[in-house]
Amino acid sequence: MSRRGRRKFGDGGWSEEGGYMAAKKRKLDEQFGEDVPRQIQRQGSSSKIFEGVTIYVNGYTVPSSDELKRLMMLHGGRHTFYYRKTTVTHIIATTLPHSKILDIKDKKVMKADWILDSIKAGKLLSCPPYMLYTKQSKSQPGIRFTKVDPPSANQATSSASIASEDSENRDDPANQKSEFLQMEIESSELTTQDPESGKLANHESDSSDLTNQEPESSDFTNMEIENYELRNLEISSPVKVSSQSVTSVCVNQDNSVMSFDENEVMTDTNMNDGDCRKKSKESPQSAQLMGKNIDQRLPAKAGDPNFVSEFYTNSRLHHIATWGAEFKDLVKKLQTEGDAVFSGREKLKKLYASSRSDDKVHDFGFHSDKKGGNKPERVIMHIDMDCFFVSVGLLSRPELKGTPVAVTHSKGKGTQLTNRPGADPEFEKAYYENRHKQKVVKGKSMSGDKIQMNTAAAPCLTDSSVVHSTSISELDSTKTFTSMAEIASCSYEARKAGIKNGMFMGQAKKLCPDLQAIPYDFEKYKEVSQILYKTVASYTHDIEAVSCDEMFVDISDIINGIKVTPLQVATAIREELYRETGCNASAGIAPNILLARMATRIAKPNGQFYLQADTAAEFIKTQLLKGLPGVGSSLNHRLETMGLTTCGELQDKPLRMLQQEFGPKTGQSLYNYCRGIDERPITADKERKSVSAEINYGIRFTQDSEAQDFLTELSTEVQKRLKNIKMRGKTITLKLKARKSSAPLESAKFMGHGVCDNIAKSSTLMTPTDDVKIITKECVMLLRQMKIHAADMRGMGIQINKLSSAASASSGMSVLDYMKNQPKPSTSKINGASDRSKVNDKNDEVFVTPVKQCGKKGIRDMFQNGATAKAETVGSVAMPTSDGDLFLPSPSQVDPSVLAALPSDIRQQIEKGYAARNQSIPTKKRHQNNLEVASSKWDISVLQALPADVVKDLLLSELGEKQQTYSGGNMLQTTKQIQNENMQMLKDVLEAGPSRVEKQPTHDVVPSFSQIDPSFLEALPPELRNELKNTYKGKNSKMATKLQDKIKCSPVKLSSPKKGKSKKTSPGRGAKGSSRSIKSSPQKQKIDWRNKQRNIQNMLIGSSSNMVDPDHPGNPDSPALVLDDVQRKSDENCLGEEEEKDKEEVMQGVEKVKPNLCGRVDLSDVKTLVKEWIESCPAPELEDVGQFVQYINDLVDDKNLETVDLLLKYLKRHVMKTGRSEWKDGYNLIVIQTQDLIKSIYGSQLKIESDLT
Amino acid sequence: MASNESHGINVTQVCADILCEFLEVAFHLILYIRELYPPGIFERRKKYNVPVQMSCHPEVNQYITNVLQSVKPLIVKDELHRVVLAVLNSSHQPVERFVFEIAPVIARSLSNDNYLLRLEQSLRAFLLKLNVCDAVLEEIPSDCSFIILVYTKESSVLEIEQTQFIQNFPWIEADKSNYTMNDVKMVPLKAVSSDLIKMQLYAEESKQKIS
């Protein structure tokens, strides 16, 4: 009340100041400004840490709002008492109600500690760790401190240098071609610079930089950023970190010939405090693009035409993964060949022959179907090479044997690096720390990969192709060495020092200063792997390939076959492996896969261990849970919190509890595994569930078109993979990594993805595909739906799910199937044509091929052209789809005129296409006939007709349809029989006497009248309609006379209830109309059966005025009335069936209709009708009797003999009442026919009197 | 409730159960009505709210139960065309047959008959009709026995043979003499056609019943 009152009085005089509150705020701001110098004076010190920060303190905080205000004054920030969206950058609070959170969702809400810690640290700390809540939506614009004010000390200089060289290929002659391009920019203030940063080619000088460099380690550049390859990189301009720091970039352009190995680009960036270094792996293309776009400061990586394919040809992990698949294929191939001779086995046999007395079994002809599982005792051997990469690497470096060695990209010496512009390592570090704390970390396991995450390390954000690892320990590691190259494999000597696979080089170096780094040698790995597999395959083909150096082998057959002990087999294989490859392998033997793998752990290094079934139980109890398959870091953590670390402890837990805790599946497998139970068989052929390609590295787009181009490339890659495994997929998922809005623009790792939101969206196609175009189109659509700014994209992946084999897909689901199911145009052909042209428009990109080129292009193009041509002219049917396959419409849908108009060579091609599909080439006649209903026979007349003009075309298409939908109706059964005969006769007539045909030339092309959709007729212009009507009149009158005799002499066959048959011949109602007309005068011929029915009804109702004598010549029924009736009929019976094109469906629909007599279903109604019928008619009409019999027929068909019985009895009573002999005869006729029918079906007759006299 | 698998109810299975139960009741009733067994072995029960007679003879009951048990899978699959209770005279010639002809229902649904009231009514009507069927049928000779026949597909027979093995209740192909009668007259008794069950019952009797 008081507020309102005040307002009334002109804001109490504050109006000229913009209102009271505005004035107050202004005053407070001024006061704050005035207080600042005073505070600083009092405190004696100040800083500018919080410059640009305006805080608003909400509620209780420690320290208090006043204290915070004071601190802000001292350190250059601002503090307001009132929350203002425009000025406040941060809100300080300890708790916030939900409503407030919603209200201020676009502000950062910080804990007060942030301010204190920032002051303590002397700089503005990154926000995330201090945020009160972090689940802000990704739309949060946030305030990005991307400029990361360098600490004042940073005013000195930072220098960054990128050096690149090809470490592996240095001696390769091809490499000699590579040019070094070096750019060096030094600022005037440049103070510290690595001596060699400007002289990159001089590698040896690198080693002088840091401590222990072995001679051969100079093979590697002192590398902080590894790059695979740099091509075409000609520009590199200084990238300014800040106004006073300078980056110098030295780039090596390398030849792309040996793209297998990575080039390594070194980037040294050092900040003055030097506590932050990063190193990351790079893709060549990214650097290349960086060069391209370097003037845009944000080096866009992806988008180069060949980015994707080159990325994959160079990706280390991609190779490892592909090998795994390759070897699986190899094993599969070996198994399908089947009849191999196992040379190794023979050797083994010879070797141990002496020690055995009974050497009799020669089981060489064994096949892969003898897989374990049903065998009582399986013996599984797990063969694993000992530190594979290292031992292969040491083959060429024998002098390093016995020393700690690690395979990594890093050269093993670190330099310092400066922060790159826009990067905020603090942010990422804090982010990961935070996540780690929250235990939401889920390291994705990479099966078949040598890299296992160091458990102490931070989350491993990996994907199938690229590994980006960021380690906390790495980020805050010491000043000495901070390489972020992960160790792919390390020797046992190194392991003794505590180094683990997956550890970062910097960390490892700390643990073991003597650690030697050797490079990858993919060619060699592959070679050795192949030897490994060949060797094992010479013993048995029961191999499950796990990766390039690891496999499971079912040696039960060997053991049973040649009577050796498992350990002897292992020894033999291992010895042979060592002979062949020079590398050590370990083997674990156990009754199942799980135990074999565990046994290998005991066996390592270079040993073998046979875990026998009886000791397995004891053995497994001591095993750690995290060694079980499927127990990853998060699951292990959960188990640990339950106090479980070993399998023995887990064994005490009941299955139900485990399933409750971990879900039914995981619980079950945990329960089994911790008991050493593992029923998995050795499988060579694991079915693929999905195919995907994903790149999360080097994605820096500047505009949407780049993203789309990139998608195209990625799709191509996916397609390649799909084709490789001969699969097609139905579901397409687009995975996107978008920069978290609070994350800095540039990631800590050079060109890495940084902190991201993972977004995925999928769409399911109608049919499985492996077509690039379709995949791309879908993906682009999905991308658009996601509405992510191109610049924020950090990673992209396409995944194809729901795979089905390409072979079955093509045979089972041809495009033709869809053509068949497509609803035909319901109005007219012209509409259909326009529909189609619309389709064409939609698929514009597919149909751009100019007509002229069609001769050169494939059949598909021709058809596209054909389609467009058709759309222009007649508008007949050819339905191009965007499917990439050879596409031909169904032959019936090919417009012969178009076909004829095509150049002869093209036409031949089309015809061949059809021939290849076992489809007849549409000839003109056939085409006419098939235009809509291939199997219909009714239009023989059409066959003989001249090529149809447009109107006739229209008619044909329309009628063809209607024929199917309208021919239903139960009351038609009897008449149909007649019609069939009529049609047959008509056919005979037509075929026999062409001259007669010529007499009725106009009628030939017109289908039976009843087949015309009345709505269609109505839609026609009046004159056209009249013409049609006249045609029908003439036609029917001529027919009538001819048919009459035929009808009379053909007895109505009621006994055959074959609906389907009559349908198939599908005489339509036109013939019906004519059969009806037999008894009527020429004027009345168009009365169709329904109308007749009406007559009966009218008659039965007994109103003499309304009664219409069907035989009366002056029948007032006009054609319009007929149409009405037909319309009504269609409403009643055929509703909902119009769309059904499939004949069977139509038939089903018909069968669903309950048996009725003139639409009456209920027995009482029928009885009433029958009563009226009997009472009103002196004698039963033959056709009425026919209808009644038909009704009885239907009832019998409907398995309702009861009603039949009752009805006949009823009929009999009333017939007896009338006492007329005509009726008695009628009744007798009905009964005889009914009895015949029932006899034919049931073999017995109704117990009713069949003879009334 | 509209579909075959709504609310955990498998409508097809439910229908099969109902049908089997009904057939059991009907068989007992026929045995009573046609006086195949002395009235003493029957006791009055109430089913579908009408009084019915049920045999207390364990072996008779066992036979009927076994038949229906082994037939049920066929009903579920809509492969049972007819179930016939044939009354045989002393020379084991059929003189009378009660034929339950079962037609498959295309789309079973409960939507029109949520509480099965109408179905129960129809079944009740069947029983009542059976109760009075002796009015339209000739008397049967004394010393008659009965046999239950099933009409189905050959493939289903093979399937039955698998299950019968377990139940120790083998089926054999019927002799022609078991199911053919001379000079047959048919008396339709009742028909039901609903969204759940479509079935009709008729009796066939041989003219030379007495002779």
Spatial distance between the Cα atoms of A1200 and A117, rounded to a whole number of angstroms: 90
pLDDT band at B154 (very low <50, low <70, confident <90, very high): confident
Specify the pLDDT at position A518.
83
Name residue A760's beta-bridge partners: A735
Looking up residue B110, the CATH number of its domain turns out to be 3.30.900.10
Question: Average pLDDT of A708-730?
Answer: 83
Report which of residues A968 and A120 the model is more confident about. A120
Report which of residues B59 and A841 the model is more confident about. B59
The rounded mean pLDDT for chain A is 61
Q: What is the layout of strands, in order, in the sheet containing B94-103?
A: A1245-1246, B184-193, B198-206, B94-103, B80-88, B145-152
Q: Which residues of B touch A1244 (CB under 8 A)?
A: 181, 184-186, 204
Residues A972-1008 pLDDT 10s: 343 444 445 445 544 444 444 443 333 344 444 455 5
User: How far is CA A601 from each of CA A122, A445, A639, A643, B68, rounded to the nearest angstrom?
Assistant: 50, 18, 22, 24, 61
DSSP 8-state symbol, A514: T
Spatial distance between the Cα atoms of A128 and A126, rounded to a whole number of angstroms: 6
User: What is the radius of gyration, based on Cα positions, of chain B?
Assistant: 17
The verdict on residue B44 lying in a domain is yes
Lowest mean pLDDT of A289-293, A519-523, A789-793, name the range. Answer: A289-293
Residues near A1211 by beta carbon (within 8 Å), at least 6 away in sequence: A1170, A1174, A1227, A1230
pLDDT band at A687 (very low <50, low <70, confident <90, very high): low
Q: Is the pLDDT of residue A150 over 90?
A: no
What domain range includes position B23? Answer: 5-206
Other Cβ atoms closer than 10 A to A37: 11
Report which of residues A212 and A692 the model is more confident about. A692
Which of B186, B192, B197, B201 to mutate to test binding with chain A, by most A CBs within 10 Å of its CB?
Answer: B186
Instruction: Find, among B111, B29, B6, B17, the residue nearest to B68 by Cα.
Output: B17
Q: Is the pLDDT of residue A215 over 70?
A: no
Lowest mean pLDDT of A265-279, A713-727, A952-966, B155-169, name the range. Answer: A265-279
Helix H, strand E, coil C: the string for A734-794 is EEEEEECCCCCCECCCCCCCCCEEEEEEEEEEEEEECCHHHHHHHHHHHHHHHCCCHHHEE
Q: How many domains does chain B have?
A: 1
Report which of residues A955 and A767 the model is more confident about. A767
The verdict on residue B211 lying in a domain is no
Question: Average pLDDT of B179-195?
Answer: 84
pLDDT band at A612 (very low <50, low <70, confident <90, very high): confident
Specify the pLDDT at position A540.
80
- One-letter amino acid at A234 equals E
Report which of residues A750 and A918 the model is more confident about. A750
Contact A1198 B199 (CB under 8 A): no
Contact A1246 B101 (CB under 8 A): no
Specify the pLDDT at position A487.
79
Find tokens 């082998």 and name the residue: A553
Question: Average pLDDT of A663-692?
Answer: 77
**Are the C-beta atoms of residues A966 and A1125 closer than 8 Å to each other?**
no
Find tokens 């019943």 and name the residue: B209
Q: Which residues of A touch B181 (CB under 8 A)?
A: 1244
Helix (H, G, I), strand (E, B) or coil at B59: helix
The verdict on residue B181 lying in a domain is yes
Q: From the centroid of its chain, how far is CA A222?
A: 43
The verdict on residue B90 lying in a domain is yes
Contact A1247 B205 (CB under 8 A): yes
Look at chain A and count its residues: 1253
DSSP 8-state symbol, A296: G
| Segments of B56-197 assigned E as strands | 80-88, 94-103, 145-152, 184-193
Q: Is the pLDDT of residue A474 over 90?
A: no
pLDDT band at A1174 (very low <50, low <70, confident <90, very high): confident
Specify the pLDDT at position B23.
92
Name residue A109's beta-bridge partners: A91
**Are the C-beta atoms of residues A833 and A957 closer than 8 Å to each other?**
no
Residues near A216 by beta carbon (within 8 Å), at least 6 away in sequence: A397, A518
Q: Is the pLDDT of residue A187 over 70?
A: no
Specify the pLDDT at position A105.
66
Q: Which residues of B touch A1246 (CB under 8 A)?
A: 185-188
Which of A1197, A1210, A1244 to mutate to test binding with chain B, by most B CBs within 10 Å of its CB?
Answer: A1244
Contact B184 A1148 (CB under 8 A): no
Asked if B135 has any chain A CB less than 8 Å from its own CB, the reply is no
**Most confident segment among A279-293, A383-397, A1062-1076:** A383-397
Asked if B101 has any chain A CB less than 8 Å from its own CB, the reply is yes
Q: Which residues of A touch B202 (CB under 8 A)?
A: 1201-1202
Contact B200 A1238 (CB under 8 A): no
Asked if B92 has any chain A CB less than 8 Å from its own CB, the reply is no
pLDDT band at B16 (very low <50, low <70, confident <90, very high): confident
The DSSP-derived string for A1024-1036 is HHHHHHHHHHHHH
Helix (H, G, I), strand (E, B) or coil at A111: coil
Q: Is the pLDDT of residue A442 over 60?
A: no
The DSSP-derived string for A217-279 is GGGS---SEEES---S--------SSTT-EE--EEEE--STTTTSPEEEEEEE--SS------
Asked if B190 has any chain A CB less than 8 Å from its own CB, the reply is yes
- Residue A447 is encoded by which pair of tokens? 């099966």
pLDDT band at B22 (very low <50, low <70, confident <90, very high): very high
pLDDT band at B85 (very low <50, low <70, confident <90, very high): very high
How far away is chain A from the Cα of B192, in angstroms, using its nearest Cα?
8
Contact B185 A1246 (CB under 8 A): yes
Give the H/E segment covering residue A1123. Answer: helix A1119-1132
Q: Which residues of A touch B (CB under 8 A)?
A: 1148, 1152, 1198-1205, 1238, 1242-1247
**How are beta strands A516-518 and A405-407 bridged, if at all?**
parallel
Name residue A1150's beta-bridge partners: none
- Residue A836 is encoded by which pair of tokens? 């189609």
Report which of residues A1101 and A412 the model is more confident about. A412
The verdict on residue B199 lying in a domain is yes
pLDDT band at A742 (very low <50, low <70, confident <90, very high): confident
Which of B202, B205, B206, B208 to mutate to test binding with chain A, by most A CBs within 10 Å of its CB?
Answer: B202
Q: Which residues of A touch B186 (CB under 8 A)?
A: 1201, 1238, 1242, 1244-1247
Q: Considering only the beta carbons, identify the residue of B184, B186, B200 that sits closest to A1200.
A: B200
Find tokens 């009425």 and name the residue: A1184
The verdict on residue B157 lying in a domain is yes
**Are the C-beta atoms of residues A61 and A109 closer than 8 Å to each other?**
no
The rounded mean pLDDT for chain B is 83
Find tokens 């294989």 and name the residue: A573
**Most confident segment among A202-206, A322-326, A626-630, A1165-1169:** A1165-1169
**Are the C-beta atoms of residues A786 and A759 closer than 8 Å to each other?**
yes
**Are the C-beta atoms of residues A719 and A712 closer than 8 Å to each other?**
no
Name residue A758's beta-bridge partners: A737
Contact B191 A1244 (CB under 8 A): no
User: How far is CA A670 from each of CA A354, A641, B21, rounded to the nearest angstrom?
Assistant: 45, 16, 46
Report which of residues A827 and A697 the model is more confident about. A697
Question: Average pLDDT of A603-623?
Answer: 81
**Are the C-beta atoms of residues B76 and B17 closer than 8 Å to each other?**
no
**How are beta strands A550-554 and A489-490 bridged, if at all?**
unpaired
Specify the pLDDT at position A615.
81
Helix (H, G, I), strand (E, B) or coil at A143: coil
Specify the pLDDT at position A886.
43
Specify the pLDDT at position A1138.
37
Residues B24-62 pLDDT 10s: 999 999 999 988 899 889 999 888 888 899 999 999 998
- One-letter amino acid at A821 equals N
Contact A1247 B101 (CB under 8 A): no
pLDDT band at B165 (very low <50, low <70, confident <90, very high): low
Q: Considering only the beta carbons, identify the residue of B106, B184, B198 that sits closest to A1243.
A: B184
Specify the pLDDT at position A15.
65
Specify the pLDDT at position A336.
67
Asked if B109 has any chain A CB less than 8 Å from its own CB, the reply is no
Specify the pLDDT at position A450.
35
Q: Classify each residue of A76-99 as buried b or exposed e, where b means 16 or more C-beta atoms within 10 Å of its C-beta.
A: bbbbbeeeeeeebbbbbbeebeee
Specify the pLDDT at position A695.
82
Helix (H, G, I), strand (E, B) or coil at A550: strand
Q: Is the pLDDT of residue A575 over 60?
A: yes
**Most confident segment among A98-107, A505-514, B43-52, B171-180:** B43-52
Other Cβ atoms closer than 10 A to A424: 27
Report which of residues A95 and A105 the model is more confident about. A95
Return the ∠ at Cα A585 (arms to A580 and A591), rounded to 5°: 125
Specify the pLDDT at position B32.
92
Phi first, then psi: give them for residue A952, nearest 5 degrees. -65, -40
The verdict on residue B133 lying in a domain is yes
Q: Is the pLDDT of residue A316 over 70?
A: no
pLDDT band at A913 (very low <50, low <70, confident <90, very high): low
Spatial distance between the Cα atoms of A536 and A550, rounded to a whole number of angstroms: 11
